[in-house]
Amino acid sequence: MKRWVMFCEADGDHRTAAALIDEALSLRCAPWVRERLDATPESVRVWHEAPEARRPWFDVHHVYDIARRLGVKVPSGRFGGVPAAPGALSSGIVLVLGCPDPIRETWVLAGFEPESDDERRRLEAERRSLGFHPNEEPHRLTAGDEHALEHAKRVLRALGVTTWERERACLRIADDARRARLRVRGAGCGLDAFLGAVEAELAPRVDPGARL
């Protein structure tokens, strides 16, 4: 069992990143990993809980305060004119950064595939309004005013993705073809980089024989 810590801004960010990590591990590691993640995920990985908030993630806005409280050294200063990198003082600690651009909903949209005639109609209506397929080019969407035509949250709602169960289905990575599609669609919004980092850094720590 691996114990990991996640720093993010909200529950939705944690759910999205954690789901993608589980999917990447299931695809890249030995079959027993998916079996256990489906049945007893805590036998594979556990997310450290933030005691003060009773949640499985820590507020990224307070990362330095939390580090000091836990006695973790935070890199500071500059080396050769370059700021100290995260993890510079933490030998053996692996850091994986996930940076949705502009917001996490673009990652969900990258995985959206219509599952009904209604969803197909909704997607076609959004394509006509936007001038592009929002699930194929999510990086072209924006953040800011949630009522704006190109706002990622508005588009997700317009497609009928209004529950975590439906979002979770968008994040499934059942096979290599699905993985390739997500990485192509997510190349401009940070999803491709995140999945690549998870596969390279976390998967081998669960299964040394993980496929890269």
**144-178 residue pLDDT tens:** 898 899 999 999 999 999 999 999 999 999 999 99
Comparing 20-24, 73-77, 183-187, which segment has the lowest mean pLDDT? 73-77
Band of pLDDT at residue 84, cut at 50, 70 and 90 = low
Whether residue 131 is found in the same domain as residue 93: no
Whether residue 95 is found in the same domain as residue 1: yes
> From the CA atom positions of the chain, what is the Rg in Å?
18
Whether residue 65 is found in the same domain as residue 143: no
Euclidean distance between CA atoms 168 and 102, whole angstroms = 19
Listed residue (94, 6, 91) closest to 48, CA to CA: 6
Whether residue 38 is found in the same domain as residue 130: no
pTM: 0.89
Q: What is the pLDDT of residue 67?
A: 77
Euclidean distance between CA atoms 160 and 120, whole angstroms = 10
Euclidean distance between CA atoms 131 and 21, whole angstroms = 32
Whether residue 141 is found in the same domain as residue 183: yes
Whether residue 94 is found in the same domain as residue 39: yes
Whether residue 55 is found in the same domain as residue 107: no
Residues β-bridged to residue 58: 7
Q: How many domains does the chain fold into? A: 2
Residue pair 143/193 in contact by the 8 Å Cβ criterion: no
Whether residue 109 is found in the same domain as residue 73: no
